[in-house]
Structure 1
Amino acid sequence: MTSKGPKPMAIDQAQPQPADAAPVRHGHGGWVLGMLCCVYVLNFLDRQLVSILAKPIQDSLHITDSQLGYVTGFYFALFYCFIAIPIGWLADRSNRVKILSLACALWSGATVACGLAGSYGQLAAARMAVGIGEAGGVPPSYAIISDSFPRERRGTAMGIFNLGPPIGSALGVAFGASLAAAYDWRVPFYVVGTIGVLTALVVYFFVPEPVRGRFDQGPGADAAPEPSFAQAIVGFFNNKILAVAALASGAANFITYGLANFATLFLMREKGMTLDEVAIWYALAVGLGMGTGIFVSGKLIDRYAVRSKAAYATIPAWSLLLALPFFLGFVAADRWELALPLLFVPLFLNSFFLPATVTFIQSEVAPGARVISGALLLLVMNLVGLGLGPTFVGMASDFFRPAYGEHSLRMAFYALAPMYLIAAFLFLWLARLIKRSSSADAASA
């Protein structure tokens, strides 16, 4: 799937490989995927701990909803998004596994620092450091998976890899809330950070670096020169289909992070849940809802995208439209026992876009541009979603507080609802662009 004209992200498939690059042997793909998923679990667990423990952190450090939105959203995303681009460019030209392991060690150490914070400023600085480390986590993983699995299995592989966020969120809720309830809100940061450093060592020494493009060789594959850093960025955004895919994913991520980063606080403040109840019931809802949703999405992509590439866009569009009424029901419910089952449906449907967009973009660009393409996707997706989503909800809650008091967060969630329609429209636009490009390619052929 390309737009008219030369493919902007094509590169020389015969480029030099890292000295320790090797084909992933049969049966080892599962080991590689499992370890990458484990790292992603820690990536997301570290990222979500502040949101999960928002209530005790607010009580301890005396921070407002707006400050919470900044520290879980904008401040984190500012470093996470922009540093991912040079890291992605470097990873396309070096050992992706070693970069991933070093990044994991960095963000895990910064997670420990979050637990040591004694003020809002110290917590914000530690979160920025977490963002710097996590910038080197996901883009290299996308490329490693794409070079470990053939095209017809990538949707499922990406779906399994993207179980990292729901598993990480569920474990964060379960163990984070349990440890905080039993000891102190700082303890989960110490425990999770230490586990992350140990995991980084396992990845560094035991995960193989795959050969770039081993499943993507074809006639004329080595005809295009390798792009420079600037050419790679310009080429991505000059491709209208890739740019719209990234923007649509950003709009969907705006919902995902706006909801996720305040859901625990909302359930405790307005629905009457305790930390112990959050650790059990909300953890189950997140783990089962998001986990099954992402896995089912990957399966649907593998099944329907071979018939029409537009499925990469239509499946996320319809999932968002179906989720909207259940989200509104969750916000309106007066008890957590009713709100949580309603929330389960958006948790299942909200993340359908993730395997679809990632698989689409990784399949559209040349093997040597996969890491930076993943980084550019995450730049848009997380700058819009992670950077603005929680910030918007937090600021909206403080804006509504004079008129609605303790129900201000409910009104902020209502203000979030129109983003479902905006994101669905962008994905339908993407589907139209894909169909038009497919028709043009068929006509030229």
Structure 2
Amino acid sequence: MGLDLAETGNADPAGVSRRSRAYPWAVFALVLGLLLSDYMSRQVLSAVFPQLKAAWTLTDAQLGSLSGVVALMVGILTMPLSLLADRRGRARSIALMAVVWSVATLCCGFAANYGQMLAARFFVGVGEAAYGSVGLAVIMSVFPPKVRATLAGAFTSAGIFGAVLGTALGGSVATHYGWRAAFSVMAVVGLVVTAVYSLTVTERRLARHVHQGAAVRSGAGLSVWDTLHSVFGSPALICAYLGGGLQSFALYSLLAWMPSYLNRYYGMAPGKAAMAAAGMFVLSGIGMTLCGVLTDWVGRGAPARKVSFGIGFCLLSCGVLSIAFRLPAGNAQIILIAIGALVAAGPWGPAGASVANLANPVVHATALAVLALAYNLMGAAPGPFITGVLADKVGLLGALQLAQLVSIPAAMAFALCRRTYLRDLPDTGRQGHHS
């Protein structure tokens, strides 16, 4: 990518202007590329389950533990590692994370037994634990606040596309060259992108392009108490966490149980049902980006209006999916479910933008880690489980009908966030969020 003009001593103002406009997009592309690598490395395991089971005579519980250990490490380490990145420098922290998960993925390809594979997957989880929050904080630091909903939606959606790509590409490579090659390919992709990132994105360069109301690194001077106050100190911020977390319950319940729903109510074979459900995943990823763009476009000059879109998307998804699951099986129902999957992911943009606007910029990675934790603890973990418990009692159709009602308290949380939003903005937010 070359050196910044400011670093070479070139004083051409027009050149600096062009570089300033291009560099944030280079950061965006590279951080997004690493997120794709993150989820490709995480999900390639699913594509090689049958081969691992045959090679080492593994039980389903052992296979599940190879996947679960990554999620466990992400859940445990997201907050502390995000806080460390805020205090020690986000750019270099990202490079270190990517090296750890890529090398660990490469080790998966050389594992000789279950124990070695479990250890390697443990370190995949360690490397990936805080990447989502720290990566998004870096991107937001070099773009104006007016596009934060778009950035949050697009960045989060890349995880979904990475998961789909990791499963598809990993399965293809494993079919032709074996499961060890599948892990190796994912590792090489990660290491190549990391090398380009490290040459392009540095603390010094980010500092030259940081936007007003943002911070590249920072929280080294904050006490633990000040950090906690910055992350949990305002009612609007807490309500933004709650709104995003509750809505994720509805979305993850839908996505997790769609293959079973299509199998039971439409008679689809498991493979075909899984492919159709993958399409729903892709739609939700597209929805995250499109709804984020819409939120930023309509909310220009009125930051609190963006929170209103979180309310609207929650209620719209609840209404569409409630109608869908009360229709008989058929094309009309499938179309409405697809629309619901698209809109149900819409609050990701408003939630991410609200958290970034309301939190002190020096702890952006930590605040976004709390939001990610809310997504997991309130949505990804309990949503599919509770829906399954309900399905045992009232049937899967009835359970999915009830699961979508969680969007109503999610909308209420966003409404409470909007009430005190402008009052709770930090001083940097008051200066920079009216563009």
Q: Which residue of 2 aligns with 1:150?
A: 144
Q: Which amino acid aligns with 2:287?
A: G
Aligned pairs for 1:121-136 within 5 A: 125-136=119-130
Q: Does the 8 A contact of 1:151 with 1:363 survive in 2?
A: yes
Q: Which amino acid aligns with 1:435?
A: R
Instruction: From 148, 154, 163, give the equivalent of 1:160.
Output: 154
- Cα offsets for 1:265-300 (capped at 9, x unmatched): 87689721538x967x6655543x134212211112
CA deviation after TM superposition for structure 1 residue 181, in Å: 4.9
Is 1:320 equivalent to 2:314 in the alignment? no
Q: Which residue of 2 aligns with 1:99?
A: 93
Distance 1:254 1:70 in 2: 23
Distance 2:109 2:333 in 1: 31
Instruction: From 225, 228, 232, give the equivalent of 2:227.
Output: 232
CA deviation after TM superposition for structure 1 residue 360, in Å: 1.1
Describe the shift of the 1:113–1:328 C-alpha distance in structure 2 as closer, same or farther (beyond 3 A): farther
Instruction: From 341, 352, 357, give the equivalent of 2:346.
Output: 352
Q: Which amino acid aligns with 1:428?
A: M
Is 1:244 equivalent to 2:242 in the alignment? no
Q: Secondary structure at the match of 2:38?
A: helix
Instruction: From 244, 249, 253, give the equivalent of 1:254.
Output: 249
Moved more, 96-105 or 38-47: 38-47
Q: Which residue of 1 aligns with 2:43?
A: 48
- Cα offsets for 1:101-121 (capped at 9, x unmatched): 211222233334556678777
CA deviation after TM superposition for structure 1 residue 376, in Å: 1.9
CA deviation after TM superposition for structure 1 residue 301, in Å: 1.4
Q: Does the 8 A contact of 2:236 with 2:424 survive in 1?
A: no
Distance 2:104 2:223 in 1: 32
Distance 2:163 2:104 in 1: 18
Q: Which residue of 2 aligns with 1:36?
A: 31
Is 1:422 equivalent to 2:419 in the alignment? no
Q: Secondary structure at the match of 2:377?
A: helix
Distance 1:343 1:173 in 2: 24
Structure 1, unaligned stretches of length 5 or more?
1-18, 219-223, 404-409
Distance 1:40 1:229 in 2: 29
Instruction: From 210, 216, 221, give the equivalent of 2:212.
Output: 216
Distance 2:383 2:334 in 1: 21
CA deviation after TM superposition for structure 1 residue 165, in Å: 2.1
Moved more, 356-365 or 414-423: 414-423
Distance 2:188 2:179 in 1: 16
Q: Does the 8 A contact of 1:145 with 1:158 survive in 2?
A: no
Instruction: From 261, 267, 271, give the equivalent of 2:268.
Output: 271
Q: Which residue of 1 aligns with 2:377?
A: 383
CA deviation after TM superposition for structure 1 residue 163, in Å: 3.2
Distance 1:204 1:261 in 2: 36
Q: Does the 8 A contact of 1:76 with 1:387 survive in 2?
A: no
Instruction: From 76, 80, 85, give the equivalent of 1:82.
Output: 76
TM-score by length of 1: 0.73
Q: Secondary structure at the match of 2:21?
A: coil
Q: Does the 8 A contact of 2:231 with 2:363 survive in 1?
A: no
Distance 2:253 2:114 in 1: 21
Q: Does the 8 A contact of 1:213 with 1:368 survive in 2?
A: no
Distance 2:253 2:119 in 1: 21
CA deviation after TM superposition for structure 1 residue 137, in Å: 0.9
- Cα offsets for 1:125-168 (capped at 9, x unmatched): 54443322112311222221221111122222333323312321
Distance 1:339 1:190 in 2: 42
- Cα offsets for 1:84-107 (capped at 9, x unmatched): 222222222233122112112222
Describe the shift of the 1:205–1:388 C-alpha distance in structure 2 as closer, same or farther (beyond 3 A): farther
- Cα offsets for 1:381-425 (capped at 9, x unmatched): 2233334345556x749x95xx9xxxxxx9568535533222332
Distance 2:324 2:174 in 1: 28
Distance 2:357 2:389 in 1: 38
Q: Which residue of 1 aligns with 2:3?
A: none
Instruction: From 196, 204, 208, give the equivalent of 1:202.
Output: 196
Q: Which residue of 2 aligns with 1:10?
A: none
Describe the shift of the 1:284–1:388 C-alpha distance in structure 2 as closer, same or farther (beyond 3 A): closer
Q: Does the 8 A contact of 2:44 with 2:183 survive in 1?
A: yes
Q: For this pair of structures, how many residues does the alignment match?
A: 398
Q: Which has the higher contact order (CA 8 A, sep 6+)?
A: 1
Instruction: From 165, 178, 185, give the equivalent of 1:171.
Output: 165
RMSD: 4.2
Structure 2, unaligned stretches of length 5 or more?
1-6, 8-15, 431-435
Describe the shift of the 1:262–1:172 C-alpha distance in structure 2 as closer, same or farther (beyond 3 A): farther
Higher relative helix content: 2
Q: Which residue of 1 aligns with 2:286?
A: 292
Q: Secondary structure at the match of 1:310?
A: helix
Q: Which residue of 1 aligns with 2:358?
A: 364
Describe the shift of the 1:243–1:69 C-alpha distance in structure 2 as closer, same or farther (beyond 3 A): farther
Q: Which amino acid aligns with 1:169?
A: A
Q: Which amino acid aligns with 1:211?
A: A
Q: Which residue of 1 aligns with 2:308?
A: 311
CA deviation after TM superposition for structure 1 residue 205, in Å: 1.8
TM-score by length of 2: 0.74
Q: Does the 8 A contact of 1:250 with 1:380 survive in 2?
A: yes
Distance 1:427 1:212 in 2: 38
Aligned pairs for 1:371-410 within 5 A: 371-389=365-383, 396=389, 400=392
Q: Which amino acid aligns with 2:402?
A: P
Q: Secondary structure at the match of 2:87?
A: coil
Distance 1:114 1:262 in 2: 29
Q: Secondary structure at the match of 2:268?
A: coil
Describe the shift of the 1:260–1:44 C-alpha distance in structure 2 as closer, same or farther (beyond 3 A): farther
CA deviation after TM superposition for structure 1 residue 80, in Å: 1.0
